[in-house]
Amino acid sequence: NAGVTQTPKFQVLKTGQSMTLQCAQDMNHNSMYWYRQDPGMGLRLIYYSASEGTTDKGEVPNGYNVSRLNKREFSLRLESAAPSQTSVYFCASSEDQLLAKNIQYFGAGTRLSVL
């Protein structure tokens, strides 16, 4: 049972380059999330998708776009990478964000460096 799978695990970009972080879950969850984690800052929500066909901004959406491709997949795109986007990115999923017991399941993360 894979759970939440993120690719790639590591990436180095030059300023201005673009890339897409991929995320897939096999738990038939409705809701999916993208977070970034920086030292001393904790997990900050970038975008989320409550259900297939919907996406909404989180706390730090600037410089990012997302696509909920289908129920399983939720991608995060950096159109023009900046050094401030150097971070560890986590994808998560949950059965449904409206449920009282909204347990989130996280992927292993993508470590991104922008030079």
Partner 1 sequence: EDQVTQSPEALRLQEGESSSLNCSYTVSGLRGLFWYRQDPGKGPEFLFTLYSAGEEKEKERLKATLTKKESFLHITAPKPEDSATYLCAVRSVGGSYIPTFGRGTSLIVHP
In whole angstroms, the minimum distance from the beta carbon of 67 to partner 1 comes to 19
Backbone angles phi, psi at 83, to 5 degrees: -55, -30
Nearer of residues 40 and 53 to partner 1, judged by Cβ = 40
Nearer of residues 57 and 77 to partner 1, judged by Cβ = 57
In whole angstroms, the minimum distance from the beta carbon of 16 to partner 1 comes to 28
Q: Rounded to whole angstroms, what are the CA distances from 112 to 15, 78, 97?
A: 12, 11, 27
In whole angstroms, the minimum distance from the beta carbon of 80 to partner 1 comes to 27
Nearer of residues 17 and 108 to partner 1, judged by Cβ = 108
Contact residues for partner 1 (CB under 8 A)?
Answer: 4, 33, 40-45, 48, 50, 56, 58, 90, 92, 97-98, 100-109
Count of C-beta atoms within a 10 Å radius of residue 16? 10
The residue whose two tokens read 């399983």 is 72
Backbone angles phi, psi at 61, to 5 degrees: -85, -15
Task: State how far the Cα of 33 lies from the Cα of 90, in Å rounded to an integer.
Answer: 8
Nearer of residues 17 and 105 to partner 1, judged by Cβ = 105
Per the DSSP assignment, residues forming a β-bridge with 19 are 78
In whole angstroms, the minimum distance from the beta carbon of 57 to partner 1 comes to 10
